[in-house]
């Protein structure tokens, strides 16, 4: 579904990401792990059109989308839950969800709103609350629900467990399991490597802007040489 | 008490026009982070369009709605000719571009029309008054306040109840994230310029009705009032911009009627001094735009 080949993205003269290649097949949950500053967010930003790669290629369902804008990529079926959630704090929960479904018809949007209220009971209880008043866990659920409102073929999440209490981290990974059971295709960037490897079908390990390992979750969990990467060394 | 009420009504009348101008400036600032110094040119251009229509013997009933349409069209043309060419450039480039448009528009009118003022008739009722108890209320102020109220309510409904309004608010809060939701950056920016042009058009009708003339530099005064009102309210806050407009209008009227005769002609200077003092104590303006992140 998603093919990334030889992607390099620079901030000025510094390459935050070098020659990155990965693929995500339909129905797969793929993890992207690595310590802080490894280039994970840069990679997602480059795929989603927020950053312009200096070389390399991104294809989505066989179409070259390397230079596409974020709004065009969303329309082609890709949604990103951005780092730090970035929900619209001045808007209500409902409005946040509505803007997530802005590309769809009114009827489709209403239907998805109902689905989200069922999938996320916490949000249903705070439907008319300004999103700025939500707790971290609620805000993360809102960010994920908002991305699901566009009915994406590929859901990308950037550090969904960042800054959450352990019980809420469980909730995020339960949600990933649930979405996988629904047959969704997901690419998740995580610092919480162990949890991610348990949840993912396959994973890539990124360090200092380069991929250093790739494999199924269980394979990577057994690689003791990568331990320092997992714990952020 | 009567004097205070009288000032209040006069101030609200004056402040209404400022509020509309400031809101138009705040809409653009929210989406583009551009303090649009070309905002007043919408009134200059509308003024010349009104002048041309009066030359062709049209009445205010036709000219007034035409001013709104001209203002919206001018706003979109300015966006297309100038701002769309510098999309993604730094805030400073955008600011310089807006100055450039300001000078370009006034130069075009100096070169191709005239450097002097062009007069047109003011509607007869502009100077009429009616009495409520001891108060003498200008018909003009009553109309301005009424129309402004309706315009502001319509704008609120647009922002709260339509998907375009949602996109605009989203883009104002976090442009990149709005794009990740599928909000088209060009459409939302053009929409913001259309809304800003509409608001300037309504303000322009009243500004031009009261002035009864236009000139190549006619846009400077409304632009400054709008920018100052938006700054008083807190740049980036639409609510603040409206509040700032009314505060500025009230401050001007209150000061003009209360300052000793010797200083009254310097009202503008005193207003600026008070604004300077406000910014010393509240540099963010009256309404703080909260962008705090809860974890």
Asked whether residue B288 carries a pLDDT value surpassing 80, the answer given is no
Contacts of B175 (CB under 8 A, 6+ apart): B31, B185
Helix (H, G, I), strand (E, B) or coil at A206: strand
- Which chain B residues are Cβ-neighbours of A98 within 8 angstroms? 163, 166
Query: Which domains, ranges and CATH numbers included, belong to chain B?
Result: 2-281 (1.10.3470)
Q: Confidence class of residue A228 from pLDDT cuts 50, 70 and 90?
A: low
As a whole number, mean pLDDT of residues A168-197 equals 89
B74-98 pLDDT tens trace: 999 999 999 999 988 899 999 999 9
Q: Confidence class of residue A227 from pLDDT cuts 50, 70 and 90?
A: low
Quick check: A110 contacting B, CB < 8 Å? no
A225 burial level (CB within 10 Å; 0-12, 13-18, 19+): exposed
Instruction: Give the residue among A222, A183, A184, A228 at the shortest CA–CA distance from A203.
Output: A222
B102-156 pLDDT tens trace: 999 999 999 999 999 999 999 989 889 998 888 889 999 999 999 999 999 999 9
Tokens of B240: 């603040």
Complex ipTM more than 0.85, yes or no: yes
Contacts of A67 (CB under 8 A, 6+ apart): A52
Alpha-helical runs (H) found in chain A: 40-48, 70-76, 93-100, 106-119, 121-125, 136-148, 166-181, 193-199, 217-221, 227-230
Could you tell me where the beta strands, DSSP code E, fall in chain B?
A: 118-119, 129-132, 135-138, 213-214
* Angstroms from B230 CA to nearest CA on chain A: 19
- Which chain A residues are Cβ-neighbours of B173 within 8 angstroms? 88-91
Asked whether residue B59 carries a pLDDT value surpassing 90, the answer given is yes
Which of A75, A132, A163 shows the shortest C-beta gap to B182? A75
Share of chain B above pLDDT 90, in %: 76
* Angstroms from A209 CA to nearest CA on chain B: 23
* Angstroms from B93 CA to nearest CA on chain A: 20
**Choosing among A52, A90, A103, A105, which should be mutated to test the B contact, i.e. which has the most B CBs within 10 A?**
A90
B178-209 pLDDT tens trace: 999 999 999 999 999 999 999 999 999 999 99
Question: Residue A231 has what pLDDT?
Answer: 56
B interface toward A at CB cutoff 8 Å? Answer: 163, 166-167, 169-170, 173-174, 176-185, 290-295
Q: Supply the mean pLDDT for chain A.
A: 90
Contact A89 B295 (CB under 8 A): no
Asked whether residue B51 carries a pLDDT value surpassing 90, the answer given is yes
Spatial distance between the Cα atoms of B8 and B13, rounded to a whole number of angstroms: 9
B34-43 pLDDT tens trace: 999 999 999 9
Q: Confidence class of residue A195 from pLDDT cuts 50, 70 and 90?
A: confident
**Cβ within 8 Å of B, A 179-218:** none
Q: What number of H helices and E strands is found in chain B?
A: 11, 4
Asked whether residue B293 carries a pLDDT value surpassing 80, the answer given is no
Question: Residue A79 has what pLDDT?
Answer: 95
A45-62 pLDDT tens trace: 999 999 999 999 999 999
Quick check: A50 contacting B, CB < 8 Å? yes
Asked whether residue B3 carries a pLDDT value surpassing 90, the answer given is no
């Amino acid at each position: 579904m998603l093919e990334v080949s030889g992607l390099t993205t620079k901030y000025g003269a510094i390459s935050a990401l070098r020659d990155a290649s990965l693929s995500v097949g339909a129905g797969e949950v793929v993890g992207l792990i690595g310590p802080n500053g490894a280039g994970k967010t840069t990679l997602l930003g480059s795929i989603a059109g927020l950053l312009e790669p200096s070389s390399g290629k991104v294809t989505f369902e066989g179409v070259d989308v390397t230079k596409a804008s974020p709004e065009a990529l969303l329309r082609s079926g890709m949604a990103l839950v951005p780092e730090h959630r970035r929900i619209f704090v001045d808007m209500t929960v409902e409005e946040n969800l509505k803007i997530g479904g802005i590309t769809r018809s009114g009827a489709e949007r209403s239907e998805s709103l109902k689905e989200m209220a069922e999938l996320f009971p916490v949000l249903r209880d705070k439907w008319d609350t300004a999103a700025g008043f939500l707790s971290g866990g609620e805000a993360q659920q809102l960010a994920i629900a908002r991305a699901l409102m566009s009915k994406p073929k590929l859901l990308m999440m950037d550090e969904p467990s960042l800054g959450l209490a352990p019980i809420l981290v469980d909730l995020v990974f339960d949600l990933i399991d649930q979405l996988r059971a629904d047959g969704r295709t997901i690419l998740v960037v995580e610092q919480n490597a162990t949890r991610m490897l348990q949840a993912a079908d396959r994973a890539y390990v990124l360090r200092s802007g380069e991929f250093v390992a790739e494999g199924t979750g269980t394979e990577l969990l057994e690689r003791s040489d990568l331990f320092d990467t997992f714990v952020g060394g | 008490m009567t004097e205070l009420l009288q000032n209040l009504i006069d101030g609200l009348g004056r402040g209404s026009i400022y509020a509309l101008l400031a809101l138009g400036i705040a809409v653009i600032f929210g989406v583009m982070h551009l303090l649009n110094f070309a905002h007043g040119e919408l009134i200059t251009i509308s003024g010349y369009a009104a002048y041309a229509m009066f030359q062709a013997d049209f009445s205010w009933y036709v000219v007034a709605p035409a001013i709104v349409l001209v203002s919206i069209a001018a706003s979109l043309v300015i966006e297309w000719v100038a701002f769309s060419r510098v999309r993604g450039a730094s805030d400073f480039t955008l600011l310089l571009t807006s100055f450039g448009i300001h000078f370009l528009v006034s130069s075009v009118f100096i070169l191709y029309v005239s450097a002097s003022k062009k007069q047109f008739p003011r509607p007869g009722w502009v100077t009429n008054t009616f009495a409520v108890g001891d108060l003498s209320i200008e018909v003009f102020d009553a109309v301005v306040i009424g129309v402004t109220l309706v315009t502001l309510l319509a704008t609120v409904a647009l922002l709260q109840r339509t998907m375009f309004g949602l996109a605009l608010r989203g883009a104002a809060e976090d442009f990149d994230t709005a794009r990740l939701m599928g909000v088209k950056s060009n459409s939302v920016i053009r929409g913001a310029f259309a809304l800003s042009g509409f608001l300037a058009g309504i303000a322009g009708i009243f500004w031009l009705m009261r002035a009864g003339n236009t000139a190549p530099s006619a846009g400077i005064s409304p632009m400054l009032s709008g920018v100052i009102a938006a700054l008083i309210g807190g740049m980036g806050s639409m609510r603040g911009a409206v509040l700032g407009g009314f505060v500025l209008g009230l401050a001007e009227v209150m000061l003009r009627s209360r300052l000793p005769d010797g200083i009254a002609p310097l009202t503008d200077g005193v207003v600026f001094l008070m604004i300077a003092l406000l910014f010393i104590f509240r540099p963010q303006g009256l309404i703080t735009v909260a962008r705090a992140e809860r974890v």
